[in-house]
Amino acid sequence: MKHGQCIHFTGAQHRLCGRGVLYAQFAPGLPCIQFMHKSARGGTYLKAGELPAETKPWPGALPKERCPFYAEPTDEQVQADRAEMDAHVEKTMAAMKVASTWRVKPKPAQDRRETVECPVCKGSLHLSQSAYNGHVHGKCETADCVAWME
């Protein structure tokens, strides 16, 4: 959840939002996103407690009154969501650090696969590296632990 964005927004690639409202009826704009915050680190991902470096109106924003169900999240909801994302990023970084020492650079002669100890939950982290492009994928066996694809 983000400031300036309706809590029911699911992404304009979907037909209906979480409240069951048809996005297409608003075309060519949407009332769902009013503005975007930008981080001093670049991008729109803000960490918990981080203040935005910049706030820009969302291109194509219609007045929020156009939808009677528009609902902004509270600051508590936004911060809780960010804290959850921060924790997830931190876990993924820890696992990718392990993967970076396991990785053959620039790429192995044959596809590689190995299971190592997950640095986050101590469970089984499955790593694989492609001989084609050297990319490493990782997935922990523990539900809701880490998983990424390069």
Could you list the residues that contact ligand SF4 (CB under 6 A)?
A: 6, 8-9, 17, 19, 21, 31-32, 67, 69-70
**Quick one: what does residue 96 bind among ligand SF4, Zn ion, none, with the CB cut-off 5 to 8 Å set by partner type?**
none
Binding-site member from 6, 7, 98, 118 for Zn ion (CB under 5 A): 118
Q: Token pair for residue 67?
A: 């939808």
118 near 124, Cβ under 8 Å? yes
Query: CA dihedral in degrees (40, 42, 43, 49; nearest 10)?
Result: -30
Is residue 145 within the footprint of Zn ion (CB under 5 A)?
yes
Question: How far, CA to CA in Å, does 109 sit from each of 95, 116, 129?
Answer: 24, 21, 10
Is residue 120 within the footprint of Zn ion (CB under 5 A)?
yes
Is residue 99 within the footprint of Zn ion (CB under 5 A)?
no
CB of 4 to ligand SF4, least distance (A): 12
**Quick one: what does residue 17 bind among Zn ion, ligand SF4, none, with the CB cut-off 5 to 8 Å set by partner type?**
ligand SF4
CB of 15 to Zn ion, least distance (A): 35
Nearer to ligand SF4, 45 or 58 (CB): 58
103 near 129, Cβ under 8 Å? yes
Beta-bridged to residue 56, according to DSSP, are 36
Question: How far, CA to CA in Å, does 138 sit from each of 8, 29, 52, 91?
Answer: 31, 39, 32, 12
Nearer to ligand SF4, 12 or 121 (CB): 12
